[in-house]
Amino acid sequence: MKKFQRRDFIKTASVAAVAASACGLVSCNKKEETKTVAINTNKKYEWKMVTSWPPKFPILGEYAQKIADWIDQMSGGRLKIQVYGGGELVPALEVFDAVSFGVSEMGHSAPYYWAGKAPANQFFSTIPFGMNPRQMNAWLFFGGGLEIWRELYADFNLYPFPSGNTGGQMGGWFNKEISSINDLKGLKIRMPGLGGKVITKAGATSVLSPGGESYTNLERGVIDALEWIGPYHDYLMGFYKISQYYYYPGWHETSSNLELVVNRDAYMELPEDLKAIIDTAAKASNPLIQSAFDAKNTEYYYKLKDEENVEFRQYPEDVLQRLNKLTSDVVNDIVQKDPMSKKAFDSYTKFRKRIDSWFEISETEYV
């Protein structure tokens, strides 16, 4: 599908006001004029939120619903949002288009699913061997990341908010031991994002499928291996029943930032209090989703290990080093061709170098 051009349909008169508010309620270096919409407490909004998660999916679907509930409560019922699981209103991997074109005003998903729309999108989920979730949030909120993300999404008539992080993920389910990089050759692996491109360089084939279809795909041999999230969700999906080895670390997703994404026109037309309510709900979801992942993954790590006797395997050091080198190649290819990817990656890298040094003395030494 061709890249969405907001100028195709936005009335000229409103463009200046809309563009001027690109930074919204977060701190922003750009000088901006805020388009102020008077608060009319009689006006009620009924919105939809489409998600990439199976209906009522633990943590992700639950928090999508909580966000809708909080917004309803904080707005005194003036903004009601009906939440849809993936496939209920639109397919799981069409959230971006659905919100962009206003089929739904809101979506909950992950930016790396939209690499096909703009390569830079994936830098706002995660980069293999990249920052951890706290560092990622620090970059997004205080290191200029969110500004670049909003600039990128504005081309698609979208307005994104960070909305949770899965934390470091697991390295995937395999029925074959990975002793050397050559063991990845020829395997069809469900792995989205930049990680998927890295394993492609290693000779595997990356398959992007919604989590809900992955069990059947693995069982039927459509794919040979898969990564999904971590112990909690992977347990619920039952992957341990059809796989032998559970590899770590999740080198490809050291921190996967999730998104609450809003149709930009719909957002900009809201009165200021409702904008602030959405912003606050997204911010509340951010640490809670991360904490829920951390707590549940701990619980289910023990369940898989002690009750299901899953074989946890560590990727050999030389395999990780090779994958790390391939990551640099993949990222360099992308940033050389796409200025927006370069802008995002340069900002990410600059911030990362500095925060890594800080974490080295503040956190790593302690651990």
Interface ranges with Ca ion (CB under 5 A): 169, 253
Which residue, 68 or 289, is less far from Ca ion as judged by CB? 289
Which residue, 101 or 248, is less far from Ca ion as judged by CB? 248
* Inter-residue long-range contacts of 336-341, CB under 8 Å, 24+ positions, other chains counted: 337/119, 338/118, 338/119, 338/120, 340/118, 340/119, 340/120, 340/148, 340/151, 340/152, 341/119, 341/120, 341/123
| Selection from 169, 179, 313 nearest residue 251 by Cα | 169
Which residue, 47 or 123, is less far from Ca ion as judged by CB? 123
> For residues 71 and 32, is the Cβ–Cβ distance under 8 A?
no
CB of 264 to Ca ion, least distance (A): 27
Which residue, 47 or 63, is less far from Ca ion as judged by CB? 63
Which residue, 224 or 253, is less far from Ca ion as judged by CB? 253
Which residue, 169 or 290, is less far from Ca ion as judged by CB? 169
Q: Is 253 exposed, middle or buried (0-12, 13-18, 19+ CB in 10 A)?
A: buried
CB of 214 to Ca ion, least distance (A): 10
CB of 161 to Ca ion, least distance (A): 20
CB of 289 to Ca ion, least distance (A): 14
> For residues 121 and 333, is the Cβ–Cβ distance under 8 A?
no
Helix H, strand E, coil C: the string for 18-39 is HHHCCCCCCCCCCCCCCCCCCC
Q: Kindly report the number of other CB atoms within 10 A of residue 67's CB atom.
A: 26
| Alpha carbon distance 131, 160 (integer Å) | 20
CB of 133 to Ca ion, least distance (A): 14
CB of 195 to Ca ion, least distance (A): 8
DSSP class of residue 155 equals T
Which residue, 143 or 171, is less far from Ca ion as judged by CB? 171
CB of 165 to Ca ion, least distance (A): 12
Tracing tokens 């809101």 back to the chain, one arrives at 106
